Amino acid sequence: MKLITAVIKPFKIDDVKDALKSAGVQGITVSEVRGFGRQGGHTETYRGSEYQIDFVPKAKVELVVDDSNADAVIEVIRKAAATGKIGDGKIWVTNVEQVIRIRTGEQGPDAI
């Protein structure tokens, strides 16, 4: 099993969710995060004083999938989140040792 983590532009979150649902994904976890990558931050001006805002708001999507689905899901997210402009974000994949459904106690791929 794989944990797929995607950090994307916040306004792309609905597109990514819809695309994943259409692809048959059963559940995702999202959070509002801040950070910087190659895009860097931006400046804001308050009463004439400029501030450098280093951390840009991003959305983080996390989901666990069976190994056999990982590549397809990654491609779905990549397509849905892409704008072609700098700051589109990243997707990374980590191995998952175990998944347990709390209600039933099911384990492994059955719990996904």
Partner 1 sequence: MLAAATIDSGATAWVLVSAALVAFMTPGLAFFYGGMVRSRNVLGMLMQNVFAMGLISLLWASIGFSLAFGGTGAWIGNLDFVFMKDLATIAELPGYTGDFGLIIPVLAFFGYQMMFAVITPALITGATADRMKFSAYAVLIGVWAVIVYPVVAHWVFSPNGWLFKRGALDFAGGAVVHINAGAAALAVVLVLGDRRGWPREAMPPHNLPFTILGTGILWFGWFGFNAGSALGANGLAAQALVNTHLAAATAMLSWLVVEKLRSGHATSLGAASGAVAGLVAITPCAGFVGGMAPVAIGAVAGAVCYLALRLKTKFGFDDSLDVIAVHLVGGLVGALLLGLFADTKVNALGFDGLFFGGGTGLLVDQVVASAATLAFSFGVTFVVAKILNATMGIRVSTEDELVGLDQSQHAESAYQA
Residues at the contact surface with partner 1, assessed by CB under 8 A: 44-53
Q: Which is nearer to partner 1, 27 or 48 (CB)?
A: 48
Cα–Cα distance between 52 and 50 in angstroms, integer? 7
Closest distance to partner 1 from the beta carbon of 51 (Å): 4
Cα–Cα distance between 35 and 39 in angstroms, integer? 10
- DSSP-based helix, strand, coil % in the chain, nearest 5: 30, 40, 35
For every residue of 43-66, DSSP letters joined together read EEEETTEEEEE-PEEEEEEEEEE-
Q: Which is nearer to partner 1, 53 or 100 (CB)?
A: 53
Q: Which is nearer to partner 1, 43 or 104 (CB)?
A: 43
Closest distance to partner 1 from the beta carbon of 45 (Å): 5
Closest distance to partner 1 from the beta carbon of 55 (Å): 11
